[in-house]
Structure formats: structure tokens, C-alpha cells
């Protein structure tokens, strides 16, 4: 018994000694985690070079765009053909993808040996042979009468050509085998966004953000990048890690100086690397008693299958002894231990280097997604990974150690080059069908120039109807006179009060206007809340509350005794009989105060001031916020004679010649007309461009059939139009996996501010997804692209329609003045114009296109409802004083 233990101890000691000897000899092949982290950083730098337009030509890692833009989502279905040309055999496949809820598929294949004369002949002969084989396969499977989509795995650098004419297939995708691996696994696991081949060759692909791929136009979505990482190090980046054996192997290869990373990790070269190490160790007397056999001198004699077999530790040294004996090496036990450990070090280094490069890709994916921790799946294929007894375990362990912030699942691919090509084709087929449906859905929102001209002409006709006495009563665009008969000329001066009532808050302002060289406007204001019980109480209570707020402000400013001129911005529908008379047509925005509708709001304010009996004010003007916008800009630019509101609501005012305003007496001078153009189309004149979504939004609104133009152009409604489109696309199975969430069913959830955020050029799709998640919409990357597109067409149409209406007004102004070319400024206010990333640009472009003889300058207004009200009051006082003189 003691002898047995002694023998075991002796063997263990002998084994340890041999392992230490080999470790010392191959010290440079044993890579620490610090070295691997450094390799990872070097590979990340190479990836960046490959993605950049300027740096790609000199990059070794080429980062080739594959034009595969989407992963399987489980809805793929149908019959597909796949052909796989990548070696001495050509394979044809029929792949059936079932939409049965189980994401199942069925693969039937046929192998065709490729004759040597075809392999070494010209391209035409090769593709003729491929076409013949495919034709034979289709006849065998009784598919010749069907036109099936086809994916072509062609694992060589190539120029695309087309198959023979009598093969009736629709070639949808040319596929790299690495991409095929990712797509095959992506069908089974939708988290799979990396493909890895580790066999006779090695490569990796992954889904990169389009905004980072300089070589391809466009910033939206993602695209699969085929890294071609085998060439990593061809520029010397790995020279400090390459051993004398790596250099000798490279010199003896068919492509010296090329694919250096691949030569350090792929199974095609690892057997040869082992042979070179064993040969040198033998020559130095460290193995086989220094006897160099023919096998050790023969290139390619030790293959990867030998290395894998010798690393089957469970079988002890028997495999190693048998293999070495077959190679006429006649090893001792010490030789077997040493050779087995050489194989371990070589294959372990391969797994380490592969893990470092893969860790770089996983880190990039995590950083692209801006996640602290990421779950993902790597689809993997290749003989080294599949057949080597230790390789997979080593790779997994090192990857998880290098990127502890990534929870990685490794999924083995089944027929990546065949089934994968079919999957790429299936996804391309699905996307093409989806694209057709999405285009059809959004087509009514795309307004060509001819349609926009029609809208402009119709708006012009409606403007004329509103100005004429006999048609004004039935006109939809009411063209309300404001009795504002001038714009600022710079001589305005004095102190003015302004009131601004347009919502749940009420403002009182003191505005000091100076004229002359030190011309300026100073404003002081205070905001007061209007409680709900006041908004919905009696008219007397509401106006008493307003006067109470004025009294507080006058006391706060120390001006209670002064009788100041006042402008009243009252942002509710009013019919004016003069500049200081405005009859309320009806409350909006949640106000329901009784005994106000049909009453003059200026009289109600005066009566409330009398009731309080503390101060007196000179109420000069009741003001619309659109007019205030024009006047604010008119103070800075005398050329400003148009005011535009493009925000929650939409409206325009402009200075019209008195001779054209038949509903007001007098022909001299000009008057500002408040168009109230939101009602354009209420008579059906633009029904040809209203979509079913516009009609749904209108029917669900508080005022069906009213303000139709406003409902197509203003911020209050654009988000709701988008929501209706998203519901329709989801019902068609084109969004959110066909599931309409509870939040998407809620009217008003999609606020217009989300359109502005989603359409921002600075916003990555990941951030778009986060916005949608805040709305309770669980979206994929593809969903986010579609949502962004929907938002884009809705807001673009709004800007174009607004531009067409404005073009009608500037053209009218040009004709009024009788000039060939008009220079005019438009004062603009509103959140849609100010905050939406593209609205203002599209609006300006549309006006320029439709009114080319008008040079229109757009000026942002500053506080049209406050400052504008004071300026209207100042202009009215100036004109009144001139009239008196």
C-alpha cells in the first residue's frame, strides 16, 4: 500500500516538475488579466478606427457594414431558400419558418461537391454551377413553380452578380457566415446581438448604432458590423505579445504578415503552433531525449484534432501517448505530461485572446446602451468551440472575468451559414413587407408642392370671403377687425399697465417705454393664481378677483394713485366693435364663469374697478395675443406687419389695407386683422387632405367639426394624431409586437412635447426608447425608429400646412403693396415654433417655396401677451393724441 502511495506521489511530483518546466519555457504565452485588459483596450481603439470614415482606410479591423439592420423579432414566417458557398462543398437549403408562437423552423439540405475545375475556373463557371445546383434542389423539392426569397452565404470577398435567369428566386440577402450565426441564435433568443466564429477561421459581428458608422449614410437604428477581427495586429499592435513561434508560423503561411490575430487563435494554426514548440523543445533536449522525428519536421503533421484529443484530461495521458506514438515520437511519461501542457497553454492563450476581443465588443454594446449592467447573448459557432473539450468553459470564464458588468449567455448556433442566411432573408422579407405597410399608412401625410399650392390658394380665397361684407357671415376664416391701426414707430413712451388673462394664472405688468436714442422697454410683473372656484363661479366674482390682483400689484409697485393707460390681453374668442370693446363669444380652457358670454369684458372690468372704488385706470385696448406678438416684434423691426402663433393653438394676424376691409367703415390707412385661421376647412374645403386619423382626433375633441386646420397644425393635437397612427400600426402588427398597451389607449397621453424630444437630432434611439417606456410603451429599437418616423411626418405636415397658410398672407401683402418683390417680417411666438427641432425650418422653407417673390424674415417674439399689450396701448394713445391734434 505504501508503495502505491509512493508511486502516486512520485508521478504527481514528476507531473508538477514537467508543468513548471513548460510554464517557464512558454512564459510569454501565459497572459495575465492585466495584459488581457490591455488587449481589450487596444481592440476597442481598432474598432473606433474601423468605424471612422477618415481612419478606416488605415485600420486593420475593417468593421464592414453588413446592411443587416434588424434582428429576428419572432414574427418571421414563410418558406425561404438559402445557399452556402464557403468550401469544397456547396449546400442548398429550404428553410420553413413557422409563425406558431413557438418560434420554430425546419431545415432541409442537400450537399453538392464542387469540382476542382469549377473552384479553379472563372467566376461565370462557378455561378453557373451554383445556379444549376439550386435549380436541381428546387426541382427535387418541387419548388420550381414558387418564387421564394433567397439568402446567399458567400464567405469570400466578392462583387455581387445575379443568378441564372431560369432560376426564379428573389435574392434578398448576401450573408457572411458570422452574421448568419448571430441571426440563427437571434431567432431563438432575441437578446442575441453578437455573433462569434471560432474554428478554422475566426471572426465576430455585432449590432452597432448607425450614428457611429461613418461609412454608411443615416443615423437611425442599428446595423450589424462584421469586424473581420482576424487582421487585428497586422499593424504591429500585438507584436509585444507575439512569440518566436508565432513569427515562424506566420513566415511559413500563405499570407505572411496578414491575419496575425487569427493565426494566434484559430484552429487552422494551433496544431502547427504546437508542432513548432515541440520541435524547438526537442532540439534543446527537453523532449523525446532530443530525438527529432520526421513528424516534428513535417509542416501540418500535428493538427487541431490531435491537440483537442490530448487535452482530454479525464482520459489521463493515454490519448497523448497514443497520438505521439502514432507520430513515431515514442514518448516517456514526462514527455506526455509536457506535451499535454504545451497544448493547454496554446489553446488557453487562444481562448484568452478571443475573450479579450469579445469583451471589447460587449463593453461597446453596454456603453452604446448607456447601461451600468447589461444582459446579452452571444451566438457562437465553429469547430474549435464545439469540439475542444475545455475551450468553451475557458472562454466563458475569462469573458465573465473581464466584463463583470455584462451577464453573457453563450448560445450554440445550429447551421448558422444555412439557417442564418434564411433568417437574414426572413428578416429582410419582413422589413420589406412592413415598410410597404408603413409607407401606405403615412403616404396621406406627405404633401407634394402641388397640394400645398392648392391649400395656399384655398386659404387666400377664404381670407377674401372673411373680408367681404356679403360673405363674412358665412366665412370660416372670420378675419376679425382688431381696431389696432398702427405699429410702433419708436416715438412711444410712458408708463403702461398690461393684464394677461389666458389660463389658470393671471399676470399684471407695469411696462415703462422710453423713446429716442435711449429707446427701451422695462417690464415689472407679478403672477396671481385664479382658483378653480373663481374660474367656475360668477362673472362678478371673477372680475372682482382680477381687480383685487391689480390693487395688490399697484400697491406693491407704489403707483396706486396714478391713472395709467391699460392694455388687456384676453385670450378667449371675442368680437370687437372698437379697440376697447370686446364681446366674449364663449369660454374655453376650463373657464365657466357665469353671466359673461355675450358681454363686453372691458365694461365688466370697469364695473369691477368702480365697485372696489380704490383706483381708476384708462382701459385703452382689449388685445389678442397674436396681435401682441406682432406688436412686440414691430417695436424692434418696423417691417413686422404679421404675427404668427404656432404653439398649443395656431393663429395669424396681419396689417390689412382699410380699403379691403368691407366690414369696417373707412378706406384710409391700415388695420390689424385677427384671421382666426384655425377654423379654415370647417366648410370642407380641405377634406381632400384630412386623413382618417385627423377625423378620429376631431370626433374625439371637445368641438367636433370646428377648428379643423388648427387640429392639423397646432401643438394641442399633433401628439393625439401620432397616438392614433401608433394604435393603427400596432393593430397591423407593425409596432410593439402587436400589443396595444393600456397607456396607448389613453387619449392625450402622447403630448406634443414628446414629439419635440423624440425628433431631436441629438437624441439617440436609446433615449427615444426611454421616453416611450415613460409612457408605458415597451419598444424595441425598430419600434423606436418607426415612432420617430411617425412623429416626423405628422410635425412636418403641420409645418408645411402652416407655411402654406402663411404664404397666402405674404402673397396678399405683396399684391396689396403692388410690388414685384416684398420685404416683410413675421413676428412669431409659440412652443411648437420655439421648441420643436424642425418645425421652424420646414415652415420657413415652405413659405419660401410657395411665395418666392417674398423675402420673409422670422423674428421670435418676447412676451407678446404682456409687452405686446402695453405696446398696443402705447400706439393707440399715440394715434389718439395725433387725432386730437
Q: 387725432: which residue's cell?
A: 883
| Rounded Cα distance, 569 and 571, in Å | 6
460 annotated active-site: no
**DSSP secondary structure, 191-215, as one string:** TEEEEEEESSSEEEEEEEEGGG-TT
Contact 214/51 with Cβ under 8 angstroms? yes
Candidates 816, 573, 808; CA nearest to 826 is 808
- Which stretches within 519-678 are classed as H helix? 532-535, 539-557, 601-612, 625-636
Query: How many CB atoms lie under 10 A from the CB of residue 210?
Result: 20
Contacts for 39-46 with beta carbons within 8 Å, 24 or more apart? 39/238, 39/241, 39/353, 39/356, 39/357, 40/356, 40/357, 40/359, 40/360, 40/363, 40/402, 41/360, 42/237, 42/238, 43/229, 43/232, 43/356, 43/357, 43/360, 44/360, 44/363, 44/364, 46/232, 46/237
| Rounded Cα distance, 25 and 5, in Å | 30
The three-state secondary structure class of 344 is: helix
Q: Where does 451-493 show beta strands of DSSP type E? A: 480-481
Strand partners, 374: 406
Burial bucket for residue 792 (CB in 10 Å: 0-12, 13-18, 19+): middle
End-to-end CA distance of the chain: 133
Q: Return the C-alpha cell found at 691.
A: 386623413
What is the distance of C-alpha 450 from the center of its chain? 31
b/e per residue 478-498 (b: at least 16 CB within 10 A): bbbbbbbbbbbeeebebbbbb
Contact 786/729 with Cβ under 8 angstroms? yes
625 annotated active-site: yes
Query: How many CB atoms lie under 10 A from the CB of residue 321?
Result: 20
> Of 430, 507, 814, 878, which is the active-site residue?
507
CA pseudo-torsion sign 13, 19, 22, 26: negative
Query: How many CB atoms lie under 10 A from the CB of residue 278?
Result: 26
Q: Return the C-alpha cell found at 351.
A: 481562448
Q: Return the C-alpha cell found at 821.
A: 418683390
User: Reading across the β-sheet that carries 148-154, which strands appear in turn?
Assistant: 104-113, 89-98, 78-85, 148-154, 169-175
Contact 599/543 with Cβ under 8 angstroms? no
Computed over its alpha carbons, how large is the radius of gyration of the chain?
39
| Beta pairing class for 574-578 and 581-584 | antiparallel
507 annotated active-site: yes
Q: Return the C-alpha cell found at 144.
A: 420550381
| Rounded Cα distance, 396 and 327, in Å | 33
The three-state secondary structure class of 161 is: coil
> Of 155, 350, 571, 784, which is the active-site residue?
571
User: Degrees (nearest 5) of the Cα angle 498, 501, 503?
Assistant: 150
> Of 84, 188, 625, 694, which is the active-site residue?
625
DSSP letter, residue 255: S
Phi and psi at residue 111, to the nearest 5°: -100, 140
| Rounded Cα distance, 796 and 321, in Å | 76
| Rounded Cα distance, 764 and 781, in Å | 10
Q: Return the C-alpha cell found at 359.
A: 469583451
Phi and psi at residue 638, to the nearest 5°: -60, -15
Annotated catalytic residues are 507, 571, 625
Amino acid at each position: 500500500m505504501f508503495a502505491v502511495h509512493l508511486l502516486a506521489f512520485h508521478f504527481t511530483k514528476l507531473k508538477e516538475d514537467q508543468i513548471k518546466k513548460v510554464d517557464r519555457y512558454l512564459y510569454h504565452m501565459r497572459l495575465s488579466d492585466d495584459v488581457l485588459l490591455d488587449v481589450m483596450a487596444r481592440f476597442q481603439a481598432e474598432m473606433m478606427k474601423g468605424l471612422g470614415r477618415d481612419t478606416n482606410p488605415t485600420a486593420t479591423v475593417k468593421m464592414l457594414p453588413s446592411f443587416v439592420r434588424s434582428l429576428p423579432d419572432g414574427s418571421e414566417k414563410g418558406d425561404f431558400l438559402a445557399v452556402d458557398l464557403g468550401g469544397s462543398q456547396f449546400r442548398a437549403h429550404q428553410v420553413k419558418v413557422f409563425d406558431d408562437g413557438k418560434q420554430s423552423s425546419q431545415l432541409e439540405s442537400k450537399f453538392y461537391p464542387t469540382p476542382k475545375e469549377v473552384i479553379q475556373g472563372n467566376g461565370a463557371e462557378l455561378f453557373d454551377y451554383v445556379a444549376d445546383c439550386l435549380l436541381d434542389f428546387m426541382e427535387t423539392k418541387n419548388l420550381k413553380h414558387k418564387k421564394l426569397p433567397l439568402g446567399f452565404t458567400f464567405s469570400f470577398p466578392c462583387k455581387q452578380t445575379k443568378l441564372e435567369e431560369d432560376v426564379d428566386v428573389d435574392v434578398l440577402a448576401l450573408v457572411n457566415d458570422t452574421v448568419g450565426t448571430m441571426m440563427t441564435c437571434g431567432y431563438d433568443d432575441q437578446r442575441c446581438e453578437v455573433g462569434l466564429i471560432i474554428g478554422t477561421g475566426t471572426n465576430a459581428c455585432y449590432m452597432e448604432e448607425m450614428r457611429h458608422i461613418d461609412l454608411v449614410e443615416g443615423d437611425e437604428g442599428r446595423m450589424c458590423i462584421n469586424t473581420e477581427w482576424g487582421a487585428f495586429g497586422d499593424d504591429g499592435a500585438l507584436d509585444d505579445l507575439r512569440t518566436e513561434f508565432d513569427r515562424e508560423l506566420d513566415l511559413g503561411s500563405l499570407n505572411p504578415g496578414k491575419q496575425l490575430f487569427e493565426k494566434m487563435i484559430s484552429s487552422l494554426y494551433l496544431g502547427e503552433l504546437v508542432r513548432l514548440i515541440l520541435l524547438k523543445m526537442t532540439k534543446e533536449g527537453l523532449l523525446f531525449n532530443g530525438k527529432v522525428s520526421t513528424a516534428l519536421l513535417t509542416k501540418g503533421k500535428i493538427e487541431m484534432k490531435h491537440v483537442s484529443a490530448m487535452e482530454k484530461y479525464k482520459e489521463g495521458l493515454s490519448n497523448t501517448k497514443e497520438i505521439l506514438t502514432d507520430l513515431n515520437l515514442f514518448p516517456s511519461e514526462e514527455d506526455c505530461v509536457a506535451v499535454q501542457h504545451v497544448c493547454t497553454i496554446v489553446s488557453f492563450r487562444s481562448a484568452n485572446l478571443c475573450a479579450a476581443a469579445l469583451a471589447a465588443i460587449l463593453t461597446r454594446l453596454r456603453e452604446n446602451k448607456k447601461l451600468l449592467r447589461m444582459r446579452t447573448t452571444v451566438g457562437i459557432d465553429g469547430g474549435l468551440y464545439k469540439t475542444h473539450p475545455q475551450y468553451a468553459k475557458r472562454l466563458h470564464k475569462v469573458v465573465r472575468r473581464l466584463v463583470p458588468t455584462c451577464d453573457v449567455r453563450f448560445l450554440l448556433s445550429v447551421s448558422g451559414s444555412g439557417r442564418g442566411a434564411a433568417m437574414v432573408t426572413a428578416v429582410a422579407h419582413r422589413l420589406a413587407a412592413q415598410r410597404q405597410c408603413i409607407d401606405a399608412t403615412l403616404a396621406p401625410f406627405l404633401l407634394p408642392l402641388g397640394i400645398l399650392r392648392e391649400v395656399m390658394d384655398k386659404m387666400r380665397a377664404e381670407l377674401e370671403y372673411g373680408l367681404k361684407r356679403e360673405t363674412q357671415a358665412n366665412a370660416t376664416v372670420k378675419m376679425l377687425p382688431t381696431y389696432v391701426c398702427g405699429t410702433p414707430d419708436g416715438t412711444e413712451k410712458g408708463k403702461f399697465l398690461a393684464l394677461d388673462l389666458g389660463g389658470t394664472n393671471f399676470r399684471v405688468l407695469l411696462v415703462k417705454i422710453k423713446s429716442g436714442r435711449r429707446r427701451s422697454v422695462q417690464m415689472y410683473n407679478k403672477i396671481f393664481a385664479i382658483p378653480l372656484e373663481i374660474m367656475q363661479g360668477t362673472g362678478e366674482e371673477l372680475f372682482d378677483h382680477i381687480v383685487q390682483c391689480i390693487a395688490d400689484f399697484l400697491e406693491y409697485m407704489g403707483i396706486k394713485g396714478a391713472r395709467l393707460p391699460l392694455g388687456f390681453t384676453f385670450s378667449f374668442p371675442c368680437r370687437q366693435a372698437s379697440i376697447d370693446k370686446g364681446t366674449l363669444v364663449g369660454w374655453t380652457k376650463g373657464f365657466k364663469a357665469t353671466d359673461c358670454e355675450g358681454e363686453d369684458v372691458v365694461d365688466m372690468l370697469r364695473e369691477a374697478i368702480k365697485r372696489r372704488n380704490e383706483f381708476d385706470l384708462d382701459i385703452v385696448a382689449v388685445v389678442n395675443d397674436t396681435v401682441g406678438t406682432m406688436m412686440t416684434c414691430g417695436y424692434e423691426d418696423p417691417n413686422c406687419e404679421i404675427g404668427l402663433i404656432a404653439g398649443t393653438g395656431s393663429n395669424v394676424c396681419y396689417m390689412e389695407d382699410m380699403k379691403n376691409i368691407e366690414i369696417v367703415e373707412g378706406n384710409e390707412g391700415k388695420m390689424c386683422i385677427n384671421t382666426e385661421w384655425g377654423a379654415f376647412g370647417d366648410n370642407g374645403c380641405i377634406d381632400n387632405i384630412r386623413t382618417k386619423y385627423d377625423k378620429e382626433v376631431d370626433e374625439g375633441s371637445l368641438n367636433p367639426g370646428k377648428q379643423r386646420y388648427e387640429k392639423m397644425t397646432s401643438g394641442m393635437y399633433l401628439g393625439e394624431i401620432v397616438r392614433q397612427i401608433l394604435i393603427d400600426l400596432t393593430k397591423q402588427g407593425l409596432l410593439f409586437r402587436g400589443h396595444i398597451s393600456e397607456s396607448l389607449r389613453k387619449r392625450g397621453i402622447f403630448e406634443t412635447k414628446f414629439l419635440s424630444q423624440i425628433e431631436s437630432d441629438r437624441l439617440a434611439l436609446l433615449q427615444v426608447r426611454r421616453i416611450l417606456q415613460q409612457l408605458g410603451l415597451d419598444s424595441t429599437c425598430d419600434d423606436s425608429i418607426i415612432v420617430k418616423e411617425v412623429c416626423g411626418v405628422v410635425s412636418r405636415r403641420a409645418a408645411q400646412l402652416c407655411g402654406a397658410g402663411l404664404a397666402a398672407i405674404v402673397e396678399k401683402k405683396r399684391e396689396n403693396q403692388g410690388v414685384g418683390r416684398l420685404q416683410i417680417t413675421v413676428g412669431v411666438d409659440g412652443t411648437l415654433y420655439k421648441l420643436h427641432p424642425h418645425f421652424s425650418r420646414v415652415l420657413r422653407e415652405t413659405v419660401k417655396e410657395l411665395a418666392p417673390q417674398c423675402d420673409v424674415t422670422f423674428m421670435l417674439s418676447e412676451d407678446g401677451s404682456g409687452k405686446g399689450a402695453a405696446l398696443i396701448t402705447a400706439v393707440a394713445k399715440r394715434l389718439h393724441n395725433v387725432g386730437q391734434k
